[in-house]
């Protein structure tokens, strides 16, 4: 996207993405919002189906299954069984990782 000025938040929001699509491509705000929503909906649906989402030059999202494990209740110290669960993971592409390293130099 575009570089943030020092007054702007360092958190990129969906509204920021919609605004950027509106300014860069020239679509109306309504069309830009619909496009953004449809892209995020497609990503969400793919992840719900257990598919990996790979965005070239950005990274890969995938849902992983974590197995059950033993844990401890921090208040009582009692051992508990932590149920298996699904977690979303993201792995940045080499291009993104390189860009992040370059931006720090």
Residue 9: per-residue pLDDT: 55
What CATH number should be reported for the domain holding residue 56? 4.10.520.10
Assess if residue 5 is contained within a domain.
Answer: no
Question: Are 67 and 103 contained in the same domain?
Answer: yes
The answer to which of 1-5, 71-75, 91-95 has the lowest mean pLDDT is: 1-5
pTM: 0.75
Question: Are 56 and 104 contained in the same domain?
Answer: yes
Residue 4: per-residue pLDDT: 44
Question: Are 33 and 66 contained in the same domain?
Answer: no
pLDDT of residue 3 exceeding 80, the answer is: no
Question: Are 32 and 56 contained in the same domain?
Answer: no
Q: Six-digit token pair at 16?
A: 């920021």
Check residues 104 and 95 and name the one with the higher pLDDT: 95
pLDDT tens per residue across span 26-78:
999 999 999 999 999 999 999 999 999 999 999 999 999 999 999 999 999 99
Quote the CA–CA distance of 69 and 67 in Å, as a whole number: 6
Residue 103: per-residue pLDDT: 85
Q: Residue 69: what are its φ and ψ, rounded to 5°?
A: -155, 165
Q: Residue 50: what are its φ and ψ, rounded to 5°?
A: 85, 10
Question: Are 74 and 28 contained in the same domain?
Answer: no
Query: Within a 10 A sphere around the Cβ of 44, how many other Cβ atoms?
Result: 12
Max Cα–Cα distance, the chain, nearest Å: 59
Question: Are 70 and 40 contained in the same domain?
Answer: no
Residue 10: per-residue pLDDT: 85
Question: Are 70 and 32 contained in the same domain?
Answer: no
Angle, CA of 12, 15 and 59, to the nearest 5°: 45
How many domains does the structure of the chain reveal?
Answer: 2
Assess if residue 1 is contained within a domain.
Answer: no
| Cβ contact 73:80 at 8 Å | yes
Question: Are 45 and 67 contained in the same domain?
Answer: no
pLDDT of residue 2 exceeding 70, the answer is: no
The range of the structural domain enclosing residue 22 comes to 11-49
């Amino acid at each position: 996207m575009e570089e943030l000025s020092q007054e702007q938040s360092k958190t990129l929001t969906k509204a920021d993405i919609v605004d950027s699509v509106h300014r860069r491509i020239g679509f109306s705000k309504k069309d830009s919002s619909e496009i953004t929503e449809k892209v995020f909906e497609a990503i969400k649906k793919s992840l719900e189906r257990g598919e990996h989402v790979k965005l070239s030059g950005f990274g890969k999202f995938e849902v992983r299954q974590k197995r059950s494990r033993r844990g401890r209740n921090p208040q009582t110290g009692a051992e508990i069984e932590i149920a298996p669960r699904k977690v979303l993971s993201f792995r940045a592409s080499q291009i993104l990782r390189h860009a992040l390293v370059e931006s720090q130099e």
